[in-house]
Amino acid sequence: MGSLSRIAVLQAAATLALAGAPVFWLQGRNVRRRTARLEEANGERAGTLAGAAPALRIIGLGESPMAAVGLADQSLGVIPRLVAELAAASGQRVEWQTAAKSGATARFTTEKLLRRVDKGPTDLAVVGLGVNDCLALHSARRWQQDLQQLLDAVRRRLEPNRIILTGIPPMQHFPALPFPLSSMLGLRAALLDSVSQRVAEHESDVVHAPMNFTERAGGMFCSDGFHPDATAHEAWARQLARLL
C-alpha cells in the first residue's frame, strides 16, 4: 500500500474512532488523575566529546522523551547516547545540544524551542515529536503543515546536512492507556507517523526513522507506563546510529 493510500485508510479509521469521544474523555481524565507525573531529568543538555577534527554538530529537538523525562540523568537520553555512538564510530569530535520540553508539539517547537539552540551549520538535526500532537487530536493536515513549517525553520536556523524525523511510537502499547483509549491513540499515532514518512519521501534532506525497536508490548517504559525508560533510549539511539 502506498503512503498516500495508507494515510487515507488511517484517516478514515481515526475519524470513525472519534465516535467514542465521551468514553475517551472519561478515560483520559482518569489516566491523568492516577498517573504519576515524572520530571525532566537533571543534567547537561549540551556538551562536546573529544575527537579528531572536523567536529560534527548534532542538535536534538522534541517533546518529553527527548527531554529525558523519567530518567535519572540527561546523559541517559537518546541524544547523548547517539552522540557517544557516533563519536566512537567516527573518532571525530562531536558537539551536541538538546532543546526539548514535556508537552511540546510541532508548533511549539517551531515557535519556542528552536530559538534555544545556537544558530549555525549543523550536521544532523534529530526531531522527536508527535505524541502530544496525537493527544491534542491534531488532524493529519495540521500535523503536516506544522511539521513542514518546523522543517523550514530548522533549515533557516541550523542549515542541517540532514534532518531525522523519529517515528511516533505505537501508543496502543502504552501500559498507562486503557482500552479503547489506547486503540484510538494508536490509530492517530500511526496516521501522523504515516504523514511524517510521506513528508520525508518528498524532502531530499529528511529521513524518517520508524520506531521499530519495541520488543514487546508493555516493555521498556518508566514507572508511569507512558515514557520510555533508559533501555528504550539505548535502543532508540542504537537504531538511529545504524541508520546513519
- Residue that the C-alpha cell 474523555 belongs to: 25
pLDDT tens digit string along 131-151? 999 999 999 999 999 999 999
pLDDT tens digit string along 51-94? 999 999 999 999 999 999 999 999 999 999 999 999 999 999 99
Residue 218 has what pLDDT?
Answer: 54
- Residue that the C-alpha cell 533510549 belongs to: 233
pLDDT tens digit string along 89-120? 999 999 999 999 999 999 999 999 999 999 99
Q: Which domains does the chain have, with CATH numbers?
A: 3-243 (3.40.50.1110)
- Position 234 confidence tier, pLDDT thresholds 50, 70, 90: very high
Residue 15 has what pLDDT?
Answer: 75
C-alpha–C-alpha distance, residues 39 and 102, integer Å: 8
Q: What is the dihedral of CA 50, 56, 60, 65, to 10 degrees?
A: -50
| Mean pLDDT of the chain, nearest integer | 92
Helix, strand or coil, per DSSP, at residue 70: coil
Q: Is the peptide bond before 170 cis (omega within 30 degrees of 0)?
A: no
Between 19 and 29, whose confidence is greater? 29
pLDDT at 124 over 90: yes
Residue 4 has what pLDDT?
Answer: 67
